[in-house]
């Protein structure tokens, strides 16, 4: 979505729209045959040949999902179009393998990280480190994501809440970069002038346009 937060209300709305929102954990269940409804459901999967798909075909039991973890503080979606997306997980839901799980160390706040991530320098390096797919889709592997430079700064609740509103109402990620670049980039080097900061802003835009035009 266009927000940096997934709330419980957002998740409930997805459920009401009948989007796939539930995870069925059948790991180490040995008495499936006794559950008629469950077997009926699994047979539908067989009829759809889900058990023949790549990942399910590698499993001992195609319907068992390995390595189910706890809900993370945030998700980073590995593929994107205009800009990489980090979503704060206020809904306390699990992530699929389309997103990387983010958990902060004790001395760091997820709100600060998300705010700090959205600046022209970090997004420029995302364009440089990532790889392109058809239609200009950008993908970052876990290792590429880990080495992105993020000038981490502290923001108070008022500033973060204002950022959340502005992000949701933006017409382009350029608006967010324009708002954030001065504060975030000067945290690296306070001597950076407006011309230098604007140059970094232009570099990000140039890299983005190159990606979508060449794919």
- Dihedral of alpha carbons 196, 200, 202, 206, sign: positive
Distance CA 182, CA 170 (A): 18
pLDDT, tens digit, 9 for 90 and up, residues 136-177: 899 999 999 999 999 999 999 999 999 999 999 999 999 999
- DSSP H helices in the chain: 8-16, 36-47, 54-57, 110-117, 120-129, 142-146, 157-169, 173-185, 194-214
Q: What is the pLDDT of residues 56-87, one digit of tens each?
A: 999 999 999 888 889 999 999 999 999 999 99
Query: pLDDT of 177-211, one tens digit each?
Result: 999 999 999 999 999 999 999 999 999 999 999 99
**pTM score:** 0.89
Tokens at residue 105, please? 């160390």
Tokens of 150: 């993020």
The residue among 106, 93, 102, 114 whose CA lies nearest residue 73 is 102
Tokens coding 206: 């140039």
What is the number of residues in the chain? 215
């Amino acid at each position: 979505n266009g927000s940096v937060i997934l709330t419980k209300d957002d998740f409930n709305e997805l459920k009401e729209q009948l989007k796939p929102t539930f995870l069925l954990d059948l790991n180490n269940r040995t008495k499936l045959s006794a559950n008629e409804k469950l077997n009926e459901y699994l047979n539908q999967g067989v009829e759809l040949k889900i058990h023949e798909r790549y990942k399910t075909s590698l499993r001992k039991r195609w319907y068992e999902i390995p390595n189910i973890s706890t809900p993370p503080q945030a998700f980073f979606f590995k593929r994107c179009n205009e800009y990489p997306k980090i979503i704060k997980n206020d809904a306390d839901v699990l992530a699929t393998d389309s997103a990387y799980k983010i958990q902060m160390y004790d001395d760091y706040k997820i709100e600060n990280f998300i705010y700090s991530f959205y600046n022209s320098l970090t997004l420029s390096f995302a364009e440089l480190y990532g790889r392109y797919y058809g239609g200009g889709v950008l993908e970052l592997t876990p290792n590429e994501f880990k080495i992105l430079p993020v000038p981490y700064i502290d923001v108070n609740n008022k500033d973060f809440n204002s950022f959340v509103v502005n992000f949701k109402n933006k017409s382009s990620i350029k608006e967010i970069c324009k708002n954030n670049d001065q504060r975030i980039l000067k945290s690296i080097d306070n001597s950076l002038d407006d011309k230098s900061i604007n140059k970094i802003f232009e570099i990000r835009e140039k890299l983005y346009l190159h990606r979508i035009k060449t794919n």
